Amino acid sequence: MTAIDIQDLTKRYDRFTLHPVSFTVPKGYITGLIGPNGAGKSTIIKAMLGLVRPDSGQIRFDGRSFPQEERAIKEQIGFVSDENHFYEQLTVAELKRNFAPFYPEWSDADFARYANLFELDLKKRIKDLSKGTRMKVSLALALSHNARLLIMDEPTGGLDPVFRRELLDLLSDFIQDGERSVLFSTHITTDLDRVADYIICMNRGRLVFSESKESILERYVLVRGSNELLDRDVRQEFIGLRETEVGFEALHADRRRATELFRNAAILENPTLEDILYYTAKGEVLLG
Amino acid sequence: MNIVLSHTSGEPFYLQIVEQLRRQILTGVLLPGAGLPSIRQLAKDLQISVITTKRAYEELEKEGFIDSKVGRGSFVAGVSAEALREERVKRLEQDLLQLVEEARAIRISYPELRDMLRLYYEEDES
C-alpha cells in the first residue's frame, strides 16, 4: 500500500540537477524527507504538488497521476509550508472563505476546532502574523478538508519547541486509522528522531537511502576513537569522518563490520538522524 | 499497564517494550485476556514510530505472550501456569549464569558464593 510512488523523477535547472530519483511513501505512516539545503527536497515536493513540471519520470498518488487526475489528487492533499502562499492583506477568516470552496470535503467545524486549539485570531491579517502563526494557519487549513495525505515542507522552522512537540501528537492522530499518510520534509531531524516511521534521505540531487528509521538506526553506527586507529584502509570504511588533534568521530554504514573492526579499541554508539545526515553530506563533499 | 522508555540506555525501544510487557505478564500485573492499546495508539502515547511498536507486538506474539486479531486488537494470551513457571525458571537460570560470571570475575570461590546465596535466601525466607 503506497500513498506516493515516484519513479525516475528528474529535473534540470541551471545550477541544480535532480538525478533520477525513485522511492515510495507507504500509506498509513509518517515519512521524513531529509537532506541539507540544496539536496532536492523542495524540487520533489513542488513536483508532487504539480507546481514544477519534471523533465521526466512519474508520480502516482494511490494509483492516480498528473495531469489527468490533478483535481482529485489535490483535493486529497493537505499542504503545509513555511513559505507564504497567502494573500497578505486577507484576514485569517477571509483566507478560509477563499480556500474552502476548492475542497468538497471541507469542514468548518474542523477548522474552528483547530483554530481554537492553535489559538488563532481570525480577525488578524496574514501580513501581521509571525512565521510560526502563519504555519499554524496553514496547518489548520490542511487538516480541515479530510485530506488523506499531509505534505509538509519544512513545517517546524518558525515553530516554538512546545508547539513542535504538540505537532508530533497531531501527526500521530492523523495516521491513527492507518489510511492516512504524512510526508514531512525537514533539515531539523530531531523532530523526526521521535515519530518518523520511514526516512528518505537526499543529498545533492540524489537519493541516499529510503528505508524504515528502525533499520537505518540499527545499521549505521557512530565510531569515536584515537587517531592511531586511522590508516588508509580504515578511512575508506567510513561514510564520513571528522578528525581533530585529539581523536576522530566517523559514521560507518555496517554496525556488524565496525564492531569486528574495532572491538574494544573505539567507542561505538547509536547515531541520530542528524549524525547520519551530517556525515553523509560531509562524506560526499570530500569525494566530490 | 505502564511502559516507561529510556532514551539514553542505547537499548532499542522495541526491546524495552517487549521486556516490560513480558515482565508485567509474567508477574501477573497484566492478566490473560487483558486488552492492550493498538500499535498506533501506543506509538502516539510513547511518541515513537508505529514500526517500533508493531515490531514489539510481533515479537511478543511470536513468544506466545499476546494474541492479535484483525479488527479487534491485541490481548494478553492465556499463558498457562506451567508455561509461566517454565519461563521464569529459564530467566532465573540466565540470572544465575550472570551471577556466576560476575563472581568469577572478582574471584569469589564457589563455596563463598554459596554461603552468600544461603544468607540471602534464608534472610528472605524469615
Secondary structure in 3-state letters for chain A? CEEEEEEEEEEECCCCEEEEEEEEEECCCEEEEECCCCCCHHHHHHHHCCCCCCCEEEEEECCEECCCCHHHHHHCEEEEECCCCCCCCCEHHHHHHHHHHHCCCCCHHHHHHHHHHCCCCCCCEHHHCCHHHHHHHHHHHHCCCCCCEEEEECCCCCCCHHHHHHHHHHHHHHCCCCCCEEEEEECCCHHHHHHCCEEEEEECCEEEEEEEHHHHHHHCEEEEECHHHCCHHHHHHCCEEEEECCEEEEEECCHHHHHHHHCCCCEEECCCHHHHHHHHHHHHHHHC
CB contact under 8 A, B44 and A172: yes
CB contact under 8 A, A195 and B49: yes
B26/A contact by beta carbon, under 8 A: no
Residues B72 and B97 in one domain: no
Q: Is residue B1 part of a domain?
A: no
The pLDDT of residue A62 is above 80: yes
Do residues A62 and A134 make contact, with C-beta atoms less than 8 angstroms apart?
no
Instruction: Provide the pLDDT confidence category of residue A85 given band limits of 50, 70 and 90.
Output: low
Residues of B within 8 A of A165 (CB-CB) are: 47
Instruction: Provide the pLDDT confidence category of residue A141 given band limits of 50, 70 and 90.
Output: very high
B53/A contact by beta carbon, under 8 A: no
Look-up of cell digits 553506527: A221
Q: Percent of chain A at pLDDT above 90?
A: 70
What pTM was estimated for this model as a whole? Answer: 0.83
Residues B55 and B87 in one domain: no
A-chain residue closest to B9, CA distance = A270
Residues B55 and B100 in one domain: no
Question: Among B42, B58, B76, which residue terminates a domain?
Answer: B76
CB contact under 8 A, A269 and B10: yes
B-interface mutation test, from A168, A173, A195, A216, most B Cβ less than 10 A away: A195
B22/A contact by beta carbon, under 8 A: no
Q: Is residue B89 part of a domain?
A: yes
Encode pLDDT of B96-123 as tens digits.
999 999 999 999 999 999 999 999 888 8
Do residues B51 and B92 make contact, with C-beta atoms less than 8 angstroms apart?
no
Residues B108 and B66 in one domain: no
Residues B46 and B100 in one domain: no
Q: Is residue B91 part of a domain?
A: yes
Q: How many CB pairs under 8 A join A and B?
A: 44
Residues B63 and B100 in one domain: no
pLDDT of residue A60: 93
The pLDDT of residue A69 is above 60: yes
Distance separating alpha carbons of residues B55 and B42, to the nearest angstrom: 12
Q: Is residue B51 part of a domain?
A: yes
Q: Is residue B36 part of a domain?
A: yes
State the nearest Cα–Cα gap between B43 and chain A, in angstroms: 8
Residues B92 and B48 in one domain: no
Which burial class, exposed, middle or buried, applies to B112 when counting CB atoms under 10 A from its CB (0-12, 13-18, 19+)?
exposed
CB contact under 8 A, B50 and A197: yes
Instruction: Supply A3's cell numbers.
Output: 500513498
Range of the domain at B17: 13-76
B-interface mutation test, from A194, A199, A259, most B Cβ less than 10 A away: A194
Residues B96 and B63 in one domain: no
> What is chain A's mean pLDDT, rounded?
90
Look-up of cell digits 508477574: B27
When mean pLDDT is compared over A62-66, A221-225, A280-284, the highest value belongs to A221-225
Residues B54 and B102 in one domain: no
**Of A203, A206, A205, A213, which Cα lies nearest the Cα of A240?**
A203
Q: Is residue B110 part of a domain?
A: yes
pLDDT of residue A128: 92
Residues of A within 8 A of B51 (CB-CB) are: 29, 197-198, 212-214
State the nearest Cα–Cα gap between A197 and chain B, in angstroms: 5
Residues B37 and B89 in one domain: no
Distance separating alpha carbons of residues A59 and A65, to the nearest angstrom: 6
How far CA A88 is from CA of A123, A126, A129, A153, A175, in Å, comes to 13, 5, 10, 20, 32
Encode pLDDT of B8-45 as tens digits.
887 889 999 999 998 898 888 898 888 999 999 999 99
Q: Is residue B5 part of a domain?
A: no
Residues B114 and B70 in one domain: no
Distance separating alpha carbons of residues A149 and A181, to the nearest angstrom: 5
Encode pLDDT of A7-52 as tens digits.
999 999 999 999 999 999 999 999 999 998 889 999 999 999 988 9
Do residues A187 and A37 make contact, with C-beta atoms less than 8 angstroms apart?
yes
State the nearest Cα–Cα gap between B5 and chain A, in angstroms: 12
Instruction: Supply A95's cell numbers.
Output: 483566507
How far CA B31 is from CA of B23, B24, B61, B76, in Å, comes to 12, 9, 15, 7
Encode pLDDT of A152-208 as tens digits.
988 877 788 888 888 989 999 999 999 999 999 987 777 777 889 999 999 999 999
State the nearest Cα–Cα gap between B29 and chain A, in angstroms: 27
Q: pLDDT: is A76 or A131 the higher one?
A: A76
Give strand pairing partners of A181.
A149
B109/A contact by beta carbon, under 8 A: no
Q: Is residue B3 part of a domain?
A: no
From the list B40, B47, B51, the residue facing A212 with the nearest CB is B51
CATH of the domain at B51: 1.10.10.10
| Rg, chain B, Cα only | 18
Give me the number of domains chain B comprises. 2
Residues B88 and B60 in one domain: no
B-chain residue closest to A179, CA distance = B40
